[in-house]
Amino acid sequence: MKKILLSITISLLVIHTKADDGHKLWLRDKKALPVNITCSINSPTINIAINELKQAWLGKANASISLRIVKNPALKNDGFIINSSGVEALTEAGILYGVYELLRRQQTGQITTGIIISNPSYNYRILNHWDNPDGSIERGYAGQSIFWRKENAFTVTDNDKKLWQEYARANASVGINGAVLNNVNASPLILNEDYLNRTKAIAAILRPYGVKVYLSAKFSSPMQSGGLKSNDPLDPEVIKWWNNKIKEIYSVIPDFGGFLIKANSEGQPGPQDYNRTHADGANMLADALQPYGGIVMWRAFVYSPNDKDRAKQAYNEFMPLDGKFRDNVIIQVKNGPVDFQPREPFSPLFGSMKKTPVMPEFQITQEYLGHSIHLVFLSTMWEECLQSDTYEYGKGSTVAKCTDGSLRPQKNTAIAGVANIGLDTNWCGHDFAQANWYAFGRLAWNNKLKSEQIADEWIKLTFYETQSITSSNNKLAWEQNFLNPVKQMMLESREAAVNYMTPLGLHHIMSANEHYGPGPWWAPARMRADWTPPYYHKADSTGLGFNRTKSGSDAVSQYNEPLASQLNNPNTCPDNVLLWFHHLPWNFKMKSGKTLWDELCIHYDKGIQQVRAFQKIWDKAEAYVDKERFEKVQRKLRSQMNNAVLWKDGCLLYFQQFSKMPIPAYLERPVNNLDDIIKNDTPQRRRPA
Ligand code: GCW
């Protein structure tokens, strides 16, 4: 008897503390109830939908659900309707998305009754992988590529297929329907036969999940791979080469999505090498892709070493080309005018291009936000960008509306996220970084969603163990002790990072090329000025910040009124972008009545306090998480804390050399000396494991 009891206790314990490597993401095994499904279609996509329902049904036992393709004017694209009889959509992918939505609602306790109609905000919801053919990933912090590798590069193993399927499923579950499989700093190799065949194998696995494959093409492929004498987009030989190449691609992958192009940016070749414009380059490829239904996503991330203000370059280069692009070209614009900083104002291109579709590019991988070490939920940052008012067509012209077709007629609407996915068991390096992949998909589907809801869903799906929380009492305790504080931590986490890294509109002050630790001092001789922090913070004895007002670089004029005037005036410019637009005296009087210097100190200090609070929240949550994930996150929070203190001490002590003002006595003292921080600012410290 004793023995039996003991084994029961142990098995219960095992359920409670079962190690969890995070590989299942937000799609965890369920104790499903039986469900009856009717559907007249038999196809790979529909079979996935049916299996998902069977595996995860938490609705009424033995309920009857029908899956139907319908014609309904309320539906657009891959949208769906959930009603009492089941899921209806125009397309099979729509059915699949509807099924995932229904299951998500069941799992997260959202309403499943009545009629739910949901259409995607964007037609193209795409992940960009900065994966290289040798398996490395530019700005990847979660291991090597899941698509490419150096050894046995072209063997497709069962393991590969399993992983690609899990990847496709995760994407489909949040509505992502495309993936650019290789780095925008593209290798010409990617268009060679071997790589195209591997792409074909990947496409075959992704296809039933509604995920299309795209590639980044190198503009100089005609010369580098084809042996041509030129890459000039108007040269008939070059045009012919691309036409043949694209024909070849479609013969291998009939539903290939198209190209993503980085041209004349950071040393990449492009049409300007031949005195042609971005439009000449993009249109040449667009014409070749058009017969097959392919698109070109042409990036606007351009700047040159001679610019007085890098933030202005994209607008200057692309605005004169508005209306000159084919209708299967979309201009892909990073959320901010510089480069994925912890905080930037939105790119003025979103509120300016009237005759050319523009798509936002967000960065899911945390290049400037603590890699896979810091816990930073990026949804709030993207929400902030999407909800920013451009005033393009008067008040309420948000970035979301300027890009999703609600303000200007657009054949194609799209959004891209630079993926944070690698071979790490938990895909993203940090268990909480999975939330950023999830959030990107959710916002791409519905750009009006609130981060609060996204965080709520993700925590429930990722951490709520139905097995161990049986009574409603336990559920309440779980919500109070885990869900709510952890959600609060996530929602605050991005602002915390801004506070300890780049408060008040500071930007690009990290050390060296790793973009991890602080480095406002970092400016090696002979380095391009616009790759060094002093170019951006402009700290001197008179003050701090980049003057982008009318008296400075005049970047403010790229914004519409009344925003331009609001930003131009330091008294009306929002504090959170103040030093982005203004160079202000150290004793400038802020809206709070305090000096700029004091506010700077207060913000850095606050960031530290916030991370300390996150540590406490997490430690208190221990009872509600499996040991494996608990300890991993706990360790990472410690490293984040350490790094945050370095940021605060490094930046304040560095800027203090110019301000010559004391850190207010009521704030914590620095615990590191500036010379030590600089001395220890080695590549190792900057590239943490
Ligand atoms: O942020 C910068 C990165 C580069 C990246 C580039 C880009 C892929 O530091 O690594 O290159 O942006 O977006 O093209």
Residues carrying an active site annotation = 266, 339, 367
If DSSP codes are grouped into helix, strand and coil, which group holds residue 64?
strand
pLDDT band at 615 (very low <50, low <70, confident <90, very high): very high
Q: Is the CB of 139 under 6 A from ligand 1?
A: yes
* pLDDT higher than 80, residue 13: no
What is the pLDDT at residue 464?
Answer: 87
Nearest to residue 85, comparing CAs of 73, 104, 70?
70
What is the pLDDT at residue 466?
Answer: 59
- For 261-302, write each residue's pLDDT tens digit: 999 999 999 999 999 999 999 999 999 999 999 999 999 999
What is the pLDDT at residue 16?
Answer: 44
φ, ψ at 44 (rounded to 5°): -55, -40
**What is the position in ligand 1's atom list of the atom closest to the CA of 334?**
13
CB–CB of 131/181 below 8 Å?
A: yes
Q: Is the CB of 344 under 6 A from ligand 1?
A: no
CB–CB of 578/457 below 8 Å?
A: no
CA 588: distance to chain centroid? 35
Which residue's alpha carbon is nearest to atom 1 within ligand 1?
339
Judge: domain 31-118, CATH 3.30.379.10: yes
Gap from CA of 371 to ligand 1 centroid (Å): 14
Q: Is the CB of 401 under 6 A from ligand 1?
A: no
What is the pLDDT at residue 9?
Answer: 41
Gap from CA of 469 to ligand 1 centroid (Å): 44
- For 134-153, write each residue's pLDDT tens digit: 999 999 999 999 999 999 99
Range with lowest mean pLDDT among 1-10, 112-121, 124-133, 555-564: 1-10
Higher pLDDT, 11 or 352: 352
Higher pLDDT, 20 or 472: 20
Residue of 339, 513, 536 to mutate, ligand 1, most atoms within 8 A of C-beta:
339
Domain extents in the chain: 31-118, 124-446, 497-546+583-686
φ, ψ at 679 (rounded to 5°): -60, -40
φ, ψ at 17 (rounded to 5°): -110, 15
If DSSP codes are grouped into helix, strand and coil, which group holds residue 250?
helix
Q: For 484, what's the count of Cα atoms within 13 Å in the CB-facing half-sphere?
A: 7
User: Distance (Å, rounded) from C-alpha 449 to C-alpha 436?
Assistant: 14
Q: Is the CB of 303 under 6 A from ligand 1?
A: no
What is the pLDDT at residue 547?
Answer: 98
pLDDT band at 468 (very low <50, low <70, confident <90, very high): low
Gap from CA of 265 to ligand 1 centroid (Å): 9
Gap from CA of 108 to ligand 1 centroid (Å): 36
If DSSP codes are grouped into helix, strand and coil, which group holds residue 153?
coil
DSSP-assigned letter for residue 63: E
**What is the position in ligand 1's atom list of the atom closest to the CA of 515?**
9
53 by Cβ neighbours in 10 Å (0-12 / 13-18 / 19+) ranks as buried
Gap from CA of 260 to ligand 1 centroid (Å): 14
Element containing residue 15 per DSSP (H, E):
helix 2-17
- One fold for 124-446 and 497-546+583-686: no
- For 341-394, write each residue's pLDDT tens digit: 999 999 999 999 999 999 999 999 999 999 999 999 999 999 999 999 999 999
Which residue's alpha carbon is nearest to atom 12 within ligand 1?
339
Average pLDDT over residues 606-619: 98
Instruction: Catalogue the long-range contacts made by 473-482 (C-beta closer than 8 Å, 24 or more residues apart).
Output: 478/624, 481/620, 481/621, 481/623, 481/624, 482/621, 482/624, 482/625
Nearest to residue 375, comparing CAs of 629, 125, 62?
629
Range with lowest mean pLDDT among 26-30, 178-182, 481-485, 545-549: 26-30
* CA-only gyration radius of the chain, Å: 26
Name beta bridge partners: 329. Answer: 296
- For 651-677, write each residue's pLDDT tens digit: 999 999 999 999 999 999 999 999 999
pLDDT band at 306 (very low <50, low <70, confident <90, very high): confident
The fold adopted by the segment(s) 124-446 is TIM Barrel (3.20.20)
Gap from CA of 19 to ligand 1 centroid (Å): 36
Q: How far apart are the first and last CA of the chain?
A: 50
* pLDDT higher than 90, residue 19: no
**What is the position in ligand 1's atom list of the atom closest to the CA of 368?**
1
**Cβ neighbours, 10 Å, residue 353:** 24
Q: Is the CB of 339 under 6 A from ligand 1?
A: yes
Q: Is the CB of 301 under 6 A from ligand 1?
A: yes
User: Distance (Å, rounded) from C-alpha 435 to C-alpha 458?
Assistant: 6
* pLDDT higher than 70, residue 234: yes
Task: Give one DSSP letter per residue of 471-488, joined into a string.
Answer: SHHHHHHHIIIIIHHHHH
Q: Is the CB of 262 under 6 A from ligand 1?
A: yes
**What is the position in ligand 1's atom list of the atom closest to the CA of 339?**
1
* pLDDT higher than 90, residue 502: yes
Q: Is the CB of 368 under 6 A from ligand 1?
A: no
Task: Tell me the CATH number for domain 497-546+583-686.
Answer: 3.90.1330.10
Residue of 129, 367, 511 to mutate, ligand 1, most atoms within 8 A of C-beta:
367
User: Distance (Å, rounded) from C-alpha 386 to C-alpha 449?
Assistant: 10
Sequence-ordered list of residues with C-beta below 8 angstroms from that of 571, at least 6 positions apart, any chain: 591
Average pLDDT over residues 184-202: 98
What is the pLDDT at residue 17?
Answer: 46
CA 120: distance to chain centroid? 18
Q: Is the CB of 184 under 6 A from ligand 1?
A: yes
Q: Look at the chain and count its residues.
A: 689
Average pLDDT over residues 535-559: 98
Q: Is the CB of 512 under 6 A from ligand 1?
A: no
- Per-chain mean pLDDT for the chain: 95
Nearest to residue 129, comparing CAs of 171, 77, 94?
171
